[in-house]
Amino acid sequence: MSTFYITTAIDYINGLPHIGTAYEKITADCIARAKRLLGYDVRFCMGTDEHSINVKKKATDEGLEPQAYCDRMVPLFEEIWKNLHISYDDFIRTTDTRHKVAVTELFRRSMAKGDIYTADYKGWYCEGCEAFIQEKDLVDGKCPNHMKVPSWIEETNYFFRLSKYGEPLLKHIRANPDFIRPETRRNEIVRLIESGLDDISVSRSGFDWGIPVPGDSGHVIYVWFDALTNYISSLGFGGNDDAEFRKYWPADVHIVGKDITRFHCVIWPAMLMSCGVEVPKSVFGHGFIYHSGEKMSKSLGNIVSPLDIVGKFGADPLRYFFLREVVNGQDGDFTFERFIDRYNSDLANDLGNLVSRTVAMIHKYCGGTLPLYTRPSGGRLYEYFLELSKKWKKEIEWYNLSGACQSVMDYVKEANKYIEENAPWNLAKDPKRTGELAGILCDLSTVIVNSARLLYPFIPESSNKIWRAFGYTGDIGDSFIKNEYGVSLQVPVDTYIQNIGPIFPRIESDNVIKMSENINKNKKEEKNYVEADILQFPDFMKVDIRVGTVTAAERVEKSDKLLRLFVDDGMGGRKILAGIAQHYMPEELAGKQVLFVANLKPRRMMGEISEGMVLAAVHGEGLNVIVPDGDVPPGTKVS
Ligand code: MSP
């Protein structure tokens, strides 16, 4: 049996999934289920990315150790995925021992190859991206993904010789045109590599939340080097039992968002090349889901939780909306209005009506049991199905999920037309035409079970309900026998068809409008706060004010406002440029204690970096630096 290994990105764990992150898992789940139907031995892996700076911060805010925080979050993630019927085979956590073993092994191999060396790093780091960012990529001094000013970092780090892999990567991409999909993403990546790759820092110093660099516990391995390895640690790479690694690697496809495609198409394959491990067969970079045209974010208050929708309508309507509405690879937009329209027109009207009308007629005219009818092979709907199954397979192989879904829904529409054209209610009035009536009901039942099977990757719960109502048992996914794909199923005669009632009751728009109003209300309230310049408590808690002792002070040349203060901050010392030259002589400050903001983004002033801000009371023309009442050890936190 051919294997098929599919993965999604592993999510940062410092916030719960929203419909955007859920979209990715739904897409991958649909592919995994379809491949299982096509007879593949599928392995589908997801997980959580736990060693990020933001996790450490969030845990600290909540008074927890990072590990305890992650242990509390993981079941919440798994619960959400279970509710969306995501059928993963493995859930890897970057804090799992098996993962740490694999990351250490990979780092060691790359070191042994001579691809890792130490050097000083000076530059910007965006904590949202968990990535080093170049000055040229900043927009108005901010990271374009997170619209936040990154932190300035100066530290001795381990570097990976990414620059060495530019040519081998280009060669690989050219020789394997399907390595990066869709084509737009491939072109972006090729341009990126052609513009020249720099070596990248693969460690951070001064952190203890992460996997230590082998042989140097003063550094932890950079979170992306760590996280990317999940795709092989899940298979036991570097451990005692790597049978699954040998069976499933290289992965058939990594499904990831467009924002992180470059990590997967540049850094990850280069790491693997360095370690002598095969690279994945392909990376698919999907688009982003927006909400009413806007990026979802906490600050806008427009985040839609998958549970809000699943709790009210079930998982299938949301899965269907994304898989049918969004062209895989392109961006998509979620609005409650579009969601309800799509549901009512496709699921309630087309599929729901086909099933309920057919079941009702079998009950009304045949007592609920499918009549005996031997149809000569062929017929319009039969021919349609043969074409459909070829098309469906092709679309699935291209991960064109909306195309595959649409082709089945067209078949459903065709069957509804067939009912109108043949008007079984007229045939039922004429006892001489019961044979014809039986044929039509059998044809419709055939369309229904075949559609249920092909729609199973999209709406598994509803498909199974239909499947079982038509006399089949178990889960569609388990019922498939290899090579049966493309064979039109016939519901056996004498099968009792259960009257299951409407599977997709129409959604009344009132319900949805209320949900949408709630989200908009959140958004407005959030905006009001922003307008009123009110600092949210969690934001206030981020400000780290500390006591420092000025060890030396001097004027900054060519500035009549700035003094250069050297401050003992209890953390090795820092330099702060303070705008107090018109109020203090440098010699007045030496030995004085001050309060300063310790976690302010370093700023460039008069050509040099200032690492913080001294607090002062400003009154009219006067200014007094604020000093603690009594001597306090440098570095003491102010709260
Ligand atoms: N932890 C990294 C991935 C490491 S993989 C080795 C990460 N995590 S994330 O939680 O920020 O994002 C998880 C996935 O969700 C990513 O593929 C990301 O692109 C995707 N999405 C995040 N927001 C999204 C939308 N609004 N829409 C669609 N996908 C989105 O990145």
Ligand 1, atom 18, residue with closest C-alpha: 257
pLDDT at 528: 42
Mean pLDDT of the 482-511 span: 81
Domain 333-478 class, CATH top level: mainly alpha
Q: Is the pLDDT of residue 265 over 60?
A: yes
Pocket test for ligand 1, best of 260, 263, 334 (most atoms within 8 A of CB): 260
How far apart are the C-alpha atoms of 183 and 258, rounded to whole Å?
Answer: 12
| C-alpha 248 – ligand 1 centre gap (Å) | 24
| C-alpha 9 – ligand 1 centre gap (Å) | 6
| Residue ranges matching CATH 1.10.730.10 in the chain | 333-478
Across 37-41, 300-304, 455-459, least confident range: 300-304
Mean pLDDT of the 573-599 span: 92
Sign of CA dihedral 550, 552, 558, 561: positive
- Cα-to-chain-centroid distance, residue 282: 17
Ligand 1: nearest atom to the Cα of 296: 26
Report the CATH number of the 537-625 domain: 2.40.50.140
Question: Coil, helix or strand for 549?
Answer: strand
| C-alpha 522 – ligand 1 centre gap (Å) | 23
Average per-residue pLDDT for the chain:
91
Ligand 1: nearest atom to the Cα of 290: 26
pLDDT-based confidence at residue 561 (cuts at 50, 70, 90): confident
End-to-end CA separation in angstroms for the chain: 63
| Residue ranges matching CATH 2.40.50.140 in the chain | 537-625
Do 80 and 16 contact (CB within 8 A), yes or no?
A: yes
The predicted model scores a pTM of 0.81
Give 137-179 as a 3 state SS string.
HCECCEECCCCECCEEEEEEEEEECHHHHHHHHHHHHHHCCCC
Across 171-180, 262-271, 365-374, 592-601, least confident range: 365-374
| C-alpha 73 – ligand 1 centre gap (Å) | 17
Question: Coil, helix or strand for 33?
Answer: helix
Pocket test for ligand 1, best of 10, 11, 223 (most atoms within 8 A of CB): 11
pLDDT at 520: 58
pLDDT at 529: 37
Mean pLDDT of the 268-287 span: 98
Work out the angle at residue 274's Cα, subtended by the Cα atoms of residues 245 and 217, and round it to the nearest 5 degrees.
85
Ligand 1, atom 9, residue with closest C-alpha: 11
Q: Crossing angle, helix 306-313 and helix 315-325, to 10 degrees?
A: 120
pLDDT, tens only, 343-399 = 999 999 999 999 999 999 999 999 999 887 665 555 889 899 999 999 999 999 999
Question: 530 versus 430: which is more confidently predicted?
Answer: 430
Superfamily, domain 3-286? HUPs (3.40.50.620)
How far apart are the C-alpha atoms of 616 and 214, rounded to whole Å?
Answer: 45
Judged on CB neighbours under 10 Å (0-12, 13-18, 19+), 468 is middle
How far apart are the C-alpha atoms of 102 and 46, rounded to whole Å?
Answer: 16
Ligand 1: nearest atom to the Cα of 287: 28
Give, for 78, the enclosing helix (H) or strand (E).
helix 66-83
| Residue ranges matching CATH 3.40.50.620 in the chain | 3-286
Mean pLDDT of the 185-194 span: 97
Strand partners, 154: 122
Residue among 126, 158, 159 at smallest CA distance from 143:
126
Dihedral, CA atoms, 519, 524, 525, 528, nearest 10 degrees? 160
Q: What percent of the chain has pLDDT over 70?
A: 93
Q: Is the pLDDT of residue 335 over 60?
A: yes
Strands 289-291 and 332-334: parallel
| C-alpha 558 – ligand 1 centre gap (Å) | 47
Q: Is the pLDDT of residue 523 over 60?
A: no
**Which amino acids bring their CB within 6 angstroms of ligand 1?**
9-12, 20-21, 23-24, 49, 227-228, 230, 256-257, 259-260, 288-289, 296
Judged on CB neighbours under 10 Å (0-12, 13-18, 19+), 491 is buried
